[in-house]
């Protein structure tokens, strides 16, 4: 359904000195800087697959999705979606895809939601009966009934997002791109949205590419993940095998009743890694593999050496795994730079 071959994307940014002087100077003399957001991506997605597209802030996820949906043209390489080159045939491509950009709205701000849908019905030329049938299902699963008469600008974030989702799927496109569809939503709305996506995939075989920072989304929806870092793919494969590979990693964070500098107890030094402290966080985080040392032994050694006030154990949640992969890819990168 989706073929991405060696795509790259550079943005041209106007370089500007700070202040008024800089602004004035750039009126006459423009210096450009190139930012390479995507550095060469290859992947293929089969019909009906649900793929998680993940990576740190600025990794190039939204840039990829914009190219897939035809908003941006790649600087190099080629994309086809359902046999169409999106950026060359935007109108035809639009019939094939639905998209939700969590940070933006595609609904019409000032008119009631129902009328936005009505407009989309005409834009996509959806037959009346099909439209009624689809709407019926959406109203039920996404609980839209009370929202239909309200203008979009009066909706809360979670209400708006449910409406957005319905709009993206309304013409039953074979492909849907979801760029952070659950951002800022409460747990109940997130659950509802995940159910809806799964339901659409089951009943209509919709191919879904999902970008999110919420790993629960990924665990519940996707069987395959593509991880991108700094414009390059660092992992493409099924979720389970990455869990198997990194799944023995554990993190325990300790809240210590202790003011001095912390040093690892000698019995742990070569088995456990001390993670950098997060800002404004006084907790000590230790990472280790369950194959090398048992959690109980780590806790015992720490309690022996320090007054432990509290502790939390994080098991091999996908967040931790992804954090590990980012870290190792960054280490490789800095290693390459040194070389």
Ligand X SMILES: Nc1ncnc2c1ncn2[C@@H]1O[C@H](COP(=O)(O)OP(=O)(O)OP(=O)(O)O)[C@@H](O)[C@H]1O
- Nearest to ligand X of 56, 305 (CB atom): 56
The residue with tokens 């370089």 is 15
Q: Mark residue 63 as left, alpha or beta (left: phi above 0; alpha: psi -120 to 50; beta: remaining).
A: alpha
**From residue 121, how far is each of 114, 118, 154 by CA, in Å?**
11, 5, 23
Q: Most distant CA pair in the chain: distance in Å?
A: 73
CB 70 to ligand X: min, Å: 16
Number of amino acids touching ligand X (CB under 6 A): 12
86 lies in the site for ligand X, by CB under 6 A = no
- Scanning 22-30, 54-62, 123-131, 299-307 for contacts with Mg ion by CB under 5 A, the matching segment is 54-62
CB 245 to ligand X: min, Å: 24
59 lies in the site for ligand X, by CB under 6 A = yes
Residues 195-204 as b/e (b if ≥16 CB within 10 A, e otherwise) read ebbebbbeee
CB 180 to ligand X: min, Å: 7
134 lies in the site for Mg ion, by CB under 5 A = no
247 lies in the site for ligand X, by CB under 6 A = no
The residue with tokens 């939601």 is 113
57 binds, among ligand X, Mg ion, none (CB under 5 to 8 A by kind): ligand X
Distance CA 283, CA 240 (A): 30
The tokens of 208 are what? 């879904």
- Nearest to ligand X of 61, 250 (CB atom): 61
Q: Is the Cβ–Cβ distance between 76 and 155 less than 8 Å?
A: no
CB 103 to ligand X: min, Å: 8
Q: Which of 39, 42, 100, 48 is nearest to 69 (CA)?
A: 100
Residue in 21, 28, 57, 188 binding ligand X, rule: CB under 6 A: 57
**From residue 255, how far is each of 55, 186, 285, 307 by CA, in Å?**
29, 28, 9, 9
Q: Is the Cβ–Cβ distance between 221 and 194 less than 8 Å?
A: yes
58 lies in the site for ligand X, by CB under 6 A = yes
The tokens of 191 are what? 């659950």
320 lies in the site for Mg ion, by CB under 5 A = no
CB 153 to ligand X: min, Å: 24
233 lies in the site for ligand X, by CB under 6 A = no
CB 212 to ligand X: min, Å: 9
61 lies in the site for ligand X, by CB under 6 A = yes
74 lies in the site for ligand X, by CB under 6 A = no
62 lies in the site for ligand X, by CB under 6 A = yes
The tokens of 183 are what? 């951002």
108 lies in the site for ligand X, by CB under 6 A = no
CB 101 to ligand X: min, Å: 10
Q: Is the Cβ–Cβ distance between 37 and 231 less than 8 Å?
A: yes
Residue in 1, 7, 55, 159 binding ligand X, rule: CB under 6 A: 55
CB 59 to Mg ion: min, Å: 8
Collect all residues with Cβ–Cβ distance below 8 Å to 124 and sequence separation of at least 6: 95, 170, 171
- Nearest to ligand X of 66, 192 (CB atom): 66
Q: Work out whether strand 175-179 and strand 207-211 pair parallel, antiparallel, or are unpaired.
A: parallel
13 lies in the site for ligand X, by CB under 6 A = yes
Residue in 41, 62, 169, 246 binding Mg ion, rule: CB under 5 A: 62
Binding site residues, Mg ion, CB under 5 A? 61-62
Interface residues toward ligand X, by CB under 6 A: 11, 13, 35, 37, 55, 57-63
């Amino acid at each position: 359904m989706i073929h991405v071959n060696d795509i790259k994307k550079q943005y041209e940014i106007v370089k500007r000195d700070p202040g008024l002087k800089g602004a004035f100077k750039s009126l006459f003399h423009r210096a450009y800087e190139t930012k390479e957001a995507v550095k060469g991506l290859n992947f293929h997605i089969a019909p009906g697959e649900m793929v998680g597209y993940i990576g740190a802030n600025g990794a190039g996820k939204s840039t990829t999705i914009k190219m897939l949906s035809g908003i941006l043209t790649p600087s190099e390489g080629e994309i086809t979606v359902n046999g169409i080159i999106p950026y060359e045939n935007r109108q035809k491509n639009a019939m094939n895809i639905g998209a939700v950009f969590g940070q933006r709205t595609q609904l019409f701000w000032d008119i009631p939601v129902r009328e936005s849908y009505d407009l989309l019905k005409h834009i996509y030329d959806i037959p009346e009966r099909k439209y009624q049938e689809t709407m019926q299902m959406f109203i039920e699963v996404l609980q839209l009934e009370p929202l239909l008469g309200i203008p979009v600008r009066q909706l809360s974030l979670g209400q708006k997002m449910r409406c957005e989702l319905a709009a993206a799927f309304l013409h039953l496109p074979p492909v849907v791109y979801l760029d952070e569809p659950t951002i800022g939503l409460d747990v109940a709305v997130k659950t509802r949205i995940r159910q809806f996506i799964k339901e659409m995939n089951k009943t209509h075989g919709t191919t879904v590419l999902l970008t999110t920072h919420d790993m629960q989304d990924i665990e519940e929806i996707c069987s395959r993940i593509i991880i991108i870092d700094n414009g390059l793919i660092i992992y493409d494969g099924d979720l389970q095998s990455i869990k198997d590979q990194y799944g023995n990693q554990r993190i325990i964070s300790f809240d210590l009743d202790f003011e001095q500098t912390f040093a690892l107890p000698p019995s742990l030094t070569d088995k456990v890694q001390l993670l950098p402290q997060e800002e404004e966080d006084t907790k000590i985080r230790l990472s280790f593999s369950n194959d090398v040392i048992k959690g109980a032994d780590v806790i015992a050694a720490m309690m022996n050496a320090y007054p432990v006030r509290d502790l939390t154990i994080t098991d091999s949640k996908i967040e931790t795994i992804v954090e590990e992969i980012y870290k190792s890819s960054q280490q490789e990168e800095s290693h390459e730079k040194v070389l």
